[in-house]
Amino acid sequence: MAEKINGRYEILETLGRGGFGETFLAKDTQMPSEKFVVIKKLQPLDNNSINLELVQKLFAKEAQVLEQLGQNCSQIPTLYAYIVEDEQFYLIQEHIEGESLAEIGVINFARCEAILSSLLNTLKYVHGQNIIHRDIKPENIIIRKSDGLPVLIDFGAVKETMGMQSRSNGSTVSSVIVGTRGFMAPEQGAGRTLFSSDLYALGLSMIYGLTGKYPIEFSNNPLTGELDWHSALPNIPNNLKGVLQKAVKMEVGQRYHTAQEMYLALHQSQPHTINQDTISYDRTVAVFPVRENLNVENIAHTVSSPNDSQGYVSRNDNNQDNNNIIVILLAGILVTLGISGSFFMTQQLRANQANLDRIEREKAETEQKLIEEQKKREEEELRRAESERLRLEAEQARNKAEEERRRAEAEARNKPPQVSNNSSSNSSLQDNTTTPISNNSDHSILSNATIYIHYQSDEFIARSLQNYLLSQGVNIGDDIDRQNGIRRNDIRYSNSSALPLARAVKNEIESFYRNMGVTKNIEMIDLSTRGFRTPTNQLEIWIQD
């Protein structure tokens, strides 16, 4: 039975494998048409629980970006769903039927200009959303079979999240660099990706389309590092050559900074020399903008030339003056439009940069918040584990002390009393039986005690004292408890006969603190003077800190 993702998408074949995971062709079994989809299975590079949670949060955010891009641009695949299952991450995307630029073979100049122009329009939209593709190459440009338009696939931002890790200082960094050798801009290899990095990769992809050669197959200038691709295209039109040459400059500052700038350069009209003797002043020439929604499979240049029958009519000084005025007015209008366009373009770039900064800040804040929450959870887990460990130790010590006490009582019951005829011995025995607490040692006193411990803030100290007393054979009545308003360290008892026991406990507490290198003043308070009455062997310890 074929493997299914999420019980819905049946895998048909593997389209590719890479460092970030695998790509499959599948069909949607829950749609009547069982339409084809592309599934990208991504694997995080680090399965650490902290990094995995960070990757999952960023993956969801990048999936939202892909969904928005696909909904608003027909030349980007639609994202149908994203799935997180068994620490695996899946993107379910539209299947684009067609051939990649790497598969269709060498293309002519006209088709190259059409594909380049269309992709620049796509990048204008993508960059306008403050998104950088990061991995443009011939394999990621699909010429769609239905309309011949180029479709941009396999955005790199999602793959970058698979390598996200959190640093000890709370910041996050990706341990991977997304891109393809040869098509990746120099600054991208250093972890710095710009809009012009996409334009660099697009330029090299177009050069591949024209030559069928990968960048690594070209020689390069040993001084500047620039690729010598021009010699493979001696007949390339000057305008297209200039656009590609500037796009693939090694220095960022020498490239086009925006897709709009590169688009305008591609469609810049070539200068012509006007012969006044062949101008017909009674003709109106209409200029139409280039239509980008075209089928790049069927491109032909149609050049119209003047009809010989449309010759020179007549000229006089007035016509010449009028023509000069028209030329001046047109020049003024063009200059004004150019200035206005530059102004609006600058404003748009500033707005885009502001949005990019805002998104980066929000992303950093989200990552920081996630890391802080994870740290809090870990600290809380450590506190709970430590508290549980202390509780178990105290319980074990209590059980051990109880067993020893019972064993001692059993031995005392089974041991017959020694009787002596010596009157002094009888007198001594009588004195011992009437004494409420034995004077043999503090240990014998403590073994019959029941003690309750209250603390104000430091549970660790209270637990440690509890364990210490248990090791001395003291019985702890209940688990320690926390009380507010404790103003001093004292021992409280409600039976004057418990004074020897209180002294013995005081000695043990002071010994406990001395072992810690701390001197504590422990007071003893007899509550029987206030009307309280408890058994002789029962007292309470109150710890301020």
Binding site for ATP, by residue number, is: 41
Distance of CA 445 to CAs 407, 442, 502, 536, 543, Å?
Answer: 16, 5, 10, 11, 22
- Residue 135: active-site member: yes
How many Å apart are CA 54 and CA 170, to the nearest integer?
Answer: 12
Which residues fall within 8 angstroms of residue 172, CB to CB, at 6 or more apart? 54, 164, 165, 166, 364, 367, 371
Q: Indicate the burial class of 242 (C-beta count within 10 angstroms; 0-12, 13-18, 19 or more).
A: middle
| CA separation, residue 175 to residues 55, 133, 180, 228, 359 (Å) | 12, 18, 16, 33, 21
Please give the structure tokens belonging to residue 460.
């660790």
Catalytic residue among 28, 135, 198, 442: 135
Binding-site entries:
41
Tokens representing 49 are 């629980």
Nearest CA among 261, 212, 265 for reference residue 237:
265
Helices within 73-221 (DSSP H only): 109-128, 157-161, 186-189, 195-211
Q: How far is residue 244's CA from residue 207's CA, in Å, rounded to a whole number?
A: 8
Nearest to 80 by CA among 35, 42, 133, 142: 35
Nearest to 472 by CA among 502, 445, 440, 438: 445
221 in Cβ contact with 156 (< 8 Å)? no
CB 93 within 8 A of CB 78: yes
C-alpha–C-alpha distance, residues 244 and 202, integer Å: 9
Alpha-carbon distance of 55 to 286, in angstroms, equals 55
Catalytic positions, please?
A: 135
